[in-house]
Amino acid sequence: MKKIISVIISVLILLTCFASCSVNTKKIKSGDAVIGILTPAAAAGDEYAEAMKMQETYGADKVVVETFDVGYGSSTASIYEAAERLLENHNVKAIIVARGVEGTADAIKAVKSARPDIECIDVNPSEIDYYVTNTADLAVSMGSKETCAAMVERAKKQGIKTVVYLVPSQYSKNISIQKTGDALKTACDDRGVDYVQHDYQCNINPIDQIKLSAKAAVKSCIEKYGKDTAFYSASCVATDTVINAAAENEAGFIYGLCSCPENHYKTAFGAEKGESYEQLLENLREAVDGNARKKLCVIESSPVSIMIKIAMGYAIAYCNGSIDAEAAFDEKVFKSAIQSALNGESVDDIEFAVSEKYGNMVNVGFPVETL
């Protein structure tokens, strides 16, 4: 009898441990808890579409979406106002900023001042790390180091010998651009691929001038380094031009410094966007010559979509009381959120690293393939 009781107790302990190890990042269980999402308006990018999917998935009573305008000088006031609208809902327990534009840190600071209990997650922040991590509870960023490593690895397999980082000279001192350049250089050095940063002169306005200067820079670099060259564009505006110029000259393209450069592929080759990221890639494959595709790198899944889904999973865990309140970052919950974002697929498909300097900033890397 004692032996039977002992076995039952052991089984109960194991079941308890299993339950405690399993983190719910899919269902908001906590009473009236609401998650707010701040997103750029529909015309600004893919964040809005993903935010609306989150609302459709979890229900309008559990997910509230507020939009803000993105534009030079307009985003700061607009995101601040959008955050204030979310605060009017007293059931909001967590806020996700779907794109951390300029002004996000101030908006989060205002939220925290009014409601310190709200978990604030900044996705793809564009402000200086210090300001972001001192206001947001968690910052989820597309990891330059991790993603650049995957890009260069893929490019090398396709025969690329030189990677050129194309930077408009006016932006060469930008902190974000410098960080990406450092990550790209490290990835190249580690894999025996030559790295070159090519600063090209251009006027910031008009846009056509930037595109013309970028096209000339691509041609100049191919003449100097050969066709086994792949480009990384530091100008979002010039990305479609760089892609076209590289493909026309049988060179390669790695990436562009923006949240979803695959949209620039669409513009470059006149492909239909389709109803999903996967459909966009299929349309591009039909629109681009097979030989050119071999040197054009793309991320397998939409970075925007996955980062918002991860943030959503983390916010759900917070609302359900599953996050370690003492930790700046709960790695166990984050891994569970990744698994939810990937619909249960292996967490190993996405690499992530916590910033050595800021414990609440997580850099996410994505698997890369050729088009």
Examine domains 34-136+304-366 and 144-299 and report if their fold is the same: yes
Q: How far apart are CA 112 and CA 228, in angstroms?
A: 51
**pLDDT truncated to tens, each residue of the chain (371 aa)?**
444 444 333 434 434 443 444 566 666 765 788 999 998 886 656 788 889 999 999 999 999 999 888 754 455 568 888 888 988 999 999 999 988 888 888 889 989 999 999 999 998 887 777 677 788 888 888 777 777 888 888 888 888 999 999 888 877 777 777 888 888 899 999 999 999 999 888 765 667 778 888 889 999 999 999 999 988 888 777 888 888 888 888 888 877 655 565 667 777 777 777 777 777 778 877 777 766 677 777 776 777 888 899 999 999 999 888 887 677 788 888 888 888 887 755 555 577 777 777 788 887 777 777 77
Phi and psi at residue 65, to the nearest 5°: -110, 130
At 138, list the tokens: 């968690």
Protein fold of 144-299: Rossmann fold (3.40.50)
SS (HEC) of 54-102: HHHHHCCCCEEEEEECCCCCCHHHHHHHHHHHHHCCCCEEEEEECCCCC
Distances (CA, A) of 106 to 78, 100, 283, 307, 362: 12, 11, 40, 22, 20
- List the alpha helices (DSSP H) in 134-238: 144-157, 175-191, 207-225
Contact 163, 184 (CB under 8 A): yes
At 193, list the tokens: 């691929």
Contact 83, 108 (CB under 8 A): yes
Taking each continuous run of H as one helix and of E as one strand, the counts in the chain are: 14, 13
Ranges of each domain in the chain: 34-136+304-366, 144-299
- pTM beyond 0.85, yes or no: no
Q: What pLDDT score does 249 carry? A: 85
Q: For Cα atoms 189, 193, 197, give the angle at the middle one, nearest 5 degrees.
A: 80
Exposed, middle or buried, 88 (CB in 10 Å: 0-12/13-18/19+)? exposed
Q: What pLDDT score does 358 carry? A: 78
Cis, bond preceding 206 (omega within 30 deg of 0): yes
- What 3-state DSSP class applies to 214? helix
- What 3-state DSSP class applies to 198? strand
Q: For Cα atoms 219, 221, 227, give the angle at the middle one, nearest 5 degrees.
A: 80
Beta bridge partners of 2: none
Protein fold of 34-136+304-366: Rossmann fold (3.40.50)
Phi and psi at residue 231, to the nearest 5°: -110, 145
